[in-house]
Structure 1
């Protein structure tokens, strides 16, 4: 295989990893993906070459990365358990494989790295002083990646975006805390009602990664880019988009409610996921926006799917709306944002 257009995607079974893998295939890449519990040693599906292996095993990652010019690191520990113990060793396995192959590592980033002193508009070079345990781990991940790039044996591309939503993705606020999957939408809970917030549609993020990879040799060895995504100016625009989409397909209009933070705090001693949610509440208490001027300068345009089309595709994928005959998921359109 030609390394220049061959990639290993770790986390291709998940939301962002799966979307990047699919769009890389569509762009002519040969895509290999590591998967735990694969019934056979290898299989092909949708253009992706699945290989049995575990990102927690250095030898599995090294073997899967052989001949790859890009490694997409979009993997998390199984069931997000022991996150603080396993995330950094998994990244170390990716870095080691990238050094051997002299490959580019792609990391989907988030805003956990930043504290309130960088708000409301965050540039790529803003100081990283996280408020949370997960944020501190994210900062350490990027520090290790930068060190690897400085050694000259690997390149790094970090694409940072707001809160994810999109088809085939379940580990995000939209599908876990705002909308109930598998049911008609009768209400939506808004964590930051009245406070501006930033969201990112997964296919747009994946398309941004693909376009940047096409230019990777012209980028710095360690490159960070921020996406504008969808800016919700009052914490309610995403909810209004859900209302518009649902009202075009069914009735009545869904109600927009405040997320019950008080209840989350009450139950959090018994529900680990709620403890994680409460730790990140500060990101919903004031506007947090990523500055995409560097990205727009490099790409010319940030891939951007109109909000209603993005919401509709997401709700259909979640089983909250029926798919229309002949309809396919919206393709990101290159609008300037």
Structure 2
């Protein structure tokens, strides 16, 4: 019987975590809104138990979490509906506590920090979000950690930077990877020459699998940093080196995002988060490595190669 569940499992990070759990020979449960998506991602795995849920219903949450000890929370919302993050966390906690879930790990972001006051930042950096999305993510974390403090269950947060990898479409690098592999023009958000870090999605799963099996992880927040500080410019240059072709680029800054946002709501939503392009949050994950040991981080050149291959890329 599954004792670990991935809520919001169908995305790239959920599949990375599932792969790591599968490698340990453990059965696991995947929970999502869309059964078709879940079956496409996990239907061939005999260790995967597929369950659908309605995240708006605590009763549905309770049913989906029945018999589960550890819940890994990856539930996404549309980028224009971040007000749902704390609401869905509240309902999930209600149902999970009723179901007897013992532990929840939230896969989080850097949004709650707001503007960085140091670099790199550690887990004790002040959370002072100046954006709506940051406030919603902070409220989500606060609800979870309050449940921990009240003794309802044990909770932890793993914060990730931006990410990329094979088949990962929700990435700032996706447009460039696709254009480098298949041709066309890459849409990027600039400036491209500022320091940044990206985590390679297949690297996330093994870390999460180790983290949830470490009792000392709970009650705290952890960072998983990328494979070092780089720039979008450097990564585009690496794509060009590997494909042997110059990449056509269309780079939008904050002003351009505002203009495009007049017609495209998604672009409008990116404006308030543009500070992460000019004042990036670079993470220190020393504490995590001290807890679980050395972490395998795929070098950017290797990660770009695998991402290009997944898009059908060929060297010219």
* TM-score over 0.5 for the pair: yes
State the alpha-carbon separation in 1 of the partners of residues 116 and 35 from structure 2: 45
Would you say the 8 A contact 1:17–1:75 is kept in 2? no
> Which deviates the most, 254-263 or 129-138?
254-263
Which residue in the other structure is 1:89 paired with? 87
**Match for residue 258 of structure 2 among 265, 274, 290:** 265
Which residue in the other structure is 1:245 paired with? 242
Which residue in the other structure is 1:7 paired with? 4
- Residues 133-152 of structure 1 show CA distances to partners (whole Å, capped at 9, x for unaligned) of 11001111111111111122
Which residue in the other structure is 2:143 paired with? 144
State the alpha-carbon separation in 2 of the partners of residues 287 and 103 from structure 1: 35
Alignment of 1:39-78 (within 5 A): 44-46=43-45, 47-77=47-77
**Match for residue 35 of structure 1 among 29, 32, 39:** 32
State the alpha-carbon separation in 2 of the partners of residues 59 and 305 from structure 1: 41
Would you say the 8 A contact 1:98–1:104 is kept in 2? no
SS of equivalent to 1:121: coil
Would you say the 8 A contact 1:71–1:106 is kept in 2? yes
- Residues 195-236 of structure 1 show CA distances to partners (whole Å, capped at 9, x for unaligned) of 101111111122211111121x133x3121112212334442
1:255 Cα deviation after fit: 4.9
State the alpha-carbon separation in 2 of the partners of residues 306 and 201 from structure 1: 9
1:165 Cα deviation after fit: 0.8
SS of equivalent to 1:230: coil
SS of equivalent to 1:295: helix
**Match for residue 298 of structure 1 among 275, 285, 291:** 291
State the alpha-carbon separation in 2 of the partners of residues 113 and 53 from structure 1: 27
Q: Does 1:321 align with 2:313?
A: yes
SS of equivalent to 2:296: coil
Q: How many residues end up aligned between the 2 structures?
A: 310
Which residue in the other structure is 1:332 paired with? none
Structure 2: where are the runs of 5+ without partners? Answer: none
Alignment of 1:178-193 (within 5 A): 178-180=176-178, 184-185=182-183, 188=186, 189=188, 191-193=190-192
RMSD: 2.7
Which residue in the other structure is 1:274 paired with? 267
Which residue in the other structure is 2:170 paired with? 171
Higher RCO, Cα 8 Å, sep 6+: 2
TM-score, with normalisation over the residues of structure 2? 0.87
1:240 Cα deviation after fit: 2.5
Relative to structure 1, is the Cα distance of residues 97 and 321 closer, same or farther in structure 2, using a 3 angstrom cutoff? same
Q: Does 1:130 align with 2:129?
A: yes
SS of equivalent to 1:18: helix
Would you say the 8 A contact 1:32–1:51 is kept in 2? yes
State the alpha-carbon separation in 1 of the partners of residues 180 and 27 from structure 2: 34
Relative to structure 1, is the Cα distance of residues 295 and 239 closer, same or farther in structure 2, using a 3 angstrom cutoff? same
Relative to structure 1, is the Cα distance of residues 87 and 119 closer, same or farther in structure 2, using a 3 angstrom cutoff? same
State the alpha-carbon separation in 1 of the partners of residues 61 and 26 from structure 2: 19
Relative to structure 1, is the Cα distance of residues 259 and 80 closer, same or farther in structure 2, using a 3 angstrom cutoff? closer
Which residue in the other structure is 2:113 paired with? 114
Relative to structure 1, is the Cα distance of residues 261 and 315 closer, same or farther in structure 2, using a 3 angstrom cutoff? farther
Would you say the 8 A contact 1:73–1:94 is kept in 2? no
TM-score, with normalisation over the residues of structure 1? 0.82
1:300 Cα deviation after fit: 2.0
